[in-house]
Amino acid sequence: MNVSVDFKKLKMFEACNELVHGFTIRTYQDYNSKRHALFPGLNKGDETYRLHSAWVLKALSIDSKNLFTVNQVHGDTVCVVKNRKPKNDAHLQKADAIVTHLEEFPLGIWTADCVPVLIYDKRLRVLGLVHAGRRGTEINIVRKTLQTLNKEFGCLAKDIALGLGPAIGKCCYEVDEPCLTGFKRSYPYWESLVSPSPSHGRFYLDLLNANAIDAVSFGLQENQIERMPYCTSCDNNMFYSYRRDGNAGRILTVAMIRKKA
């Protein structure tokens, strides 16, 4: 490979030797040390997508050429993968979370301000990835994914580690009052997620903390949750941000369970 692909990683999961993971930044470096856009768009049928995906997997020392993704629609459907050979059109399934116990089976989700969530049960070796945007967060997609892990694989809250990747921070995520309606229904202490904006009738919303609270409502403790110290809007030189860039590139989050030694 004649290019260099860089990642941000969570300390909690770097300590798990059997788990591979990474959150892409917005550029890669070529053999002349020049920077270029990584995943400048998200056309899954084009050659750029296939080439960049291959670079990412190789940079993470993943042998597979196939990355399992879903059609993300800002909902709360969880895709459960127990078969190593899913249907050819599995990537068209409408879902915003993926869970599996399969080894050497890389999962991927796409974000550009929404919260990428990585979930891992080290005892049972079960993995989950979640795309948690505003709509997914307000309908508790993280808790529903944890419930699915419990139902399908027997995962318990005490055995789970959960990481929140690079996403737009409460410093920049401004919404109007109607956007808070769902949070008022789903989060008893929703006021803690909101702060006033200088703009009339608008508020700053803390998506990262909302998803952490959602995980705690399932039974996780704070020391089982790790947050990345980035805001995709503030750190726009490093990450894509839909708020700043519009419909441009995406951050790819990849995770995979290695085979037992």
Which CATH number does the domain housing residue 42 bear? 3.60.140.10
Return d(Cα 66, Cα 55) in angstroms, integer. Answer: 12
- Write out the H or E segment, with its range, that includes residue 196: strand 194-196
Between residues 163 and 201, which one has the greater pLDDT? 163
What is the mean predicted confidence (pLDDT) over 209-219?
98
Q: Please tell me what DSSP assigns to residue 252.
A: E
pLDDT at 140 over 80: yes
Torsional class of 245: left (φ above 0), alpha (ψ -120 to 50), beta (otherwise) = alpha
Quote the mean pLDDT of the chain: 94
CB contact set of 158 (below 8 Å; sequence gap of 6+)? 219
pLDDT at 178 (0 to 100): 95
CB 156 within 8 A of CB 109: no
Q: What is the pTM of this model?
A: 0.96
Lowest mean pLDDT among 10-14, 16-20, 37-41, 151-155: 37-41
Domain extent for 77: 4-257
3-state class (DSSP) for residue 62: coil
Give residue 64's pLDDT band: very low, low, confident or very high (50, 70, 90): confident
Distance of CA 20 to the CA centre of its chain: 14
Return d(Cα 172, Cα 116) in angstroms, integer. Answer: 17
pLDDT at 90 (0 to 100): 62
Please count the other Cβ atoms lying within 10 Å of the Cβ belonging to residue 40.
16
Reference 132, options 143, 121, 120; nearest CA is 143
| Proportion of the chain above pLDDT 90, given as a percent | 85
CB contact set of 178 (below 8 Å; sequence gap of 6+)? none
**Count of domains forming the chain:** 1
pLDDT at 87 over 70: no
